[in-house]
Homo-oligomer: A and B are copies of this chain.
Amino acid sequence: MTLAKFDRYIDRHARSFTERLQNLCRMPSVAARGSGMRAIAETVEQSMQRVGIGTRAFRIGSGYPIIYGECGSGPKTFVVYGHYDVQPVGHLSEWSSGPFAATIQDGKLYARGAANKGDLVARLSAVEAYQKSFGKLPVTLRFLVEGEDGLGSPSLYRFTTENADLLKADGCIWDEGSSDTRETPIISLGFKGITFLELRAFGARSDLHSKWGAIVPNPAWRLVQALATITSPKGVITIDGFSSYIAPISEEDTEVLKAIELDEAGLKREFRIGGWVRAMKGHTLVKEHIFGPTCTICGIHTGHTDAGAKTVLPSTAMARLDFRLVPDLTAQIVVRLLREHLDIRGFRDIEIIELGSAPLAKSSAKSRVARAVIEATAEVYGKPPLIYPMDPSSGPVGAVCGVSEPATPVASFGTGYAGSNQHGPDENIRIDDFLKNIKLIGRVIHKLAATRTRPEVAHEDTRPTAPLPKLKHG
């Protein structure tokens, strides 16, 4: 069986598929704002039904609906994850046209959420095209489309814990991915874990006149002194015992890493930076990017920082840190080590608040789903994709893929490209990438059914921890 018929269907319906995507992009669905969420959830459910997916909407408490849907049949079952919510739009003045105008210009569709809505519509369009071309799908697909990606997926964590049966699958397709600055598509076989912490120091009951600075303890100094012990000036994490929890990179991953190259010059230009941390480059840089644990200060606030001088002695100081987790680090280990590290240095007064976490997820390039996605991508893009054993970002993959033993292998890819500016102003995808993705997914479906492969290689450590109410996907 060739896919020529399938491809022709897509070519003939390219305009209709694109319009469906535009319609969805015109529905504002900023999870952090909350308005319009019920409307888009209904539209998503109808779109699924329209392509022959039997759906059921789940609402956990006051959360945004999770649309679960099944279609196809066959010996193998795969979960397809998607989300219909989008990030906040940021400053409107930075957008060339409205973030929900879904304007197409020079072959690019501009909208907040163009990438994740593009992934969702591409996958639904592929289901339609496949069925119209060949009848029933030869595999069972279980769609799981949530609306709280931007909020840390609290409903999803509860849903998957309570409905583990629905998630039993031979593999999972995730919706994070793009091609790089050299037009090579990236496929990720997992994600770093994350734990997001807030550190707080306390002083006087309210901000004081800074004339008291010689004798009243300043929580801003406490926080700075405590933070400075956590990393070295060169950017190495110096928490006691931290490095002993970092697993060596496996031989298989070492091989996979060799094939990856970062477009260092292109990225430096894009970020407008003069160099990388510790002046790394080449293979070392790639290894650090993909397998290096991180401790990022995401924000600090204390005292008066608005325009105009105000000489105050702050009453509190706060820093937000995110740690990206690599094998064998867990959120629990990080928090325990950090607490001990601070205590032993006399910083018992620094409070650590856990804002959320997500375990890492990592699977093999030899899994059925990984092989299907890799091969299909190579066919559609005409070049072998870059394989990331772990994406340096994080998400609720553990909630979906880690509920049963062994963990479900995952492969992630998407409609974005290096210029997509996801989460930023003028977010956009190229219509051509969107249509290519539909074709790609048809081939993935085809290969998932056809491939004969060795027994599945399980994830490493993808069980979810406790429900994580506040952690934003990212």
Query: In the complex, what distance in Å separates the CA atom of A444 from the CA atom of B232?
Result: 59
Encode A370-409 as 1/0 by CB contact (under 8 A) with B.
0000000000000000000001111000000000000000
Say how far A34's CB is from chain B's closest CB, in angstroms: 12
Say how far A395's CB is from chain B's closest CB, in angstroms: 11
Contacts of A233 in B (CB 8 A): 225, 345-346
Do A324 and B288 have beta carbons less than 8 Å apart? no
Q: Taking A210-B294, A235-B218 as contacts, is the C-beta distance between A474 and B423 under 8 angstroms?
A: no
Say how far A56's CB is from chain B's closest CB, in angstroms: 29
Query: In the complex, what distance in Å separates the CA atom of A422 from the CA atom of B294?
Result: 45
Q: Is A122 an interface residue (CB 8 A)?
A: no
Do B220 and A285 have beta carbons less than 8 Å apart? no
Do A299 and B320 have beta carbons less than 8 Å apart? no
Question: Which residue of chain B lies nearest to A192 when distances are taken between CB atoms in the complex?
Answer: B211
List the interface of chain A (C-beta within 8 A of B). Answer: 32, 152, 192, 194, 196, 203-206, 208-218, 220-221, 224-225, 227-228, 231-233, 235, 271-273, 275-277, 280, 285, 288-289, 292-305, 308-314, 317-318, 320, 322, 324, 345-346, 355-356, 391-394, 422-424, 470-472, 474
Query: In the complex, what distance in Å separates the CA atom of A364 from the CA atom of B474?
Result: 63
Query: In the complex, what distance in Å separates the CA atom of A288 from the CA atom of B217?
Result: 13
Contacts of A293 in B (CB 8 A): 214
Say how far A38's CB is from chain B's closest CB, in angstroms: 21
Q: Taking A296-B213, A303-B300 as contacts, is the C-beta distance between A228 and B235 under 8 angstroms?
A: no
Contacts of A208 in B (CB 8 A): 271
Contacts of A294 in B (CB 8 A): 210, 213-214
Query: In the complex, what distance in Å separates the CA atom of A39 from the CA atom of B195?
Result: 56
Identical copies in the complex: 2
Contacts of A211 in B (CB 8 A): 192, 324, 391-394, 474
Query: In the complex, what distance in Å separates the CA atom of A298 from the CA atom of B393?
Result: 34
Do B289 and A312 have beta carbons less than 8 Å apart? no
Contacts of A393 in B (CB 8 A): 209, 211
Rank and list the top 9 A-B pairs by shortest CB-CB distance, nearest first.
A228-B228, A299-B303, A213-B294, A213-B296, A220-B297, A214-B292, A205-B272, A301-B305, A211-B393
Query: In the complex, what distance in Å separates the CA atom of A424 from the CA atom of B303?
Result: 15
Query: In the complex, what distance in Å separates the CA atom of A472 from the CA atom of B311?
Result: 7
Query: In the complex, what distance in Å separates the CA atom of A465 from the CA atom of B14?
Result: 71
Contacts of A273 in B (CB 8 A): 203-205, 216-217
Query: In the complex, what distance in Å separates the CA atom of A471 from the CA atom of B308?
Result: 8
Sample of 18 further A-B pairs with CB below 8 A, known A216-B277, A297-B314, A298-B310: A209-B422, A210-B296, A210-B298, A210-B322, A212-B271, A214-B288, A214-B292, A221-B231, A221-B235, A224-B224, A224-B227, A224-B228, A297-B302, A298-B304, A299-B304, A300-B305, A300-B317, A308-B470
Q: Taking A224-B227, A233-B225 as contacts, is the C-beta distance between A320 and B304 under 8 angstroms?
A: yes
Do B285 and A311 have beta carbons less than 8 Å apart? no
Contacts of A470 in B (CB 8 A): 308-309
Say how far A192's CB is from chain B's closest CB, in angstroms: 8
Contacts of A227 in B (CB 8 A): 224, 228
Contacts of A215 in B (CB 8 A): 276-277, 280, 285, 288-289, 292
Say how far A243's CB is from chain B's closest CB, in angstroms: 14
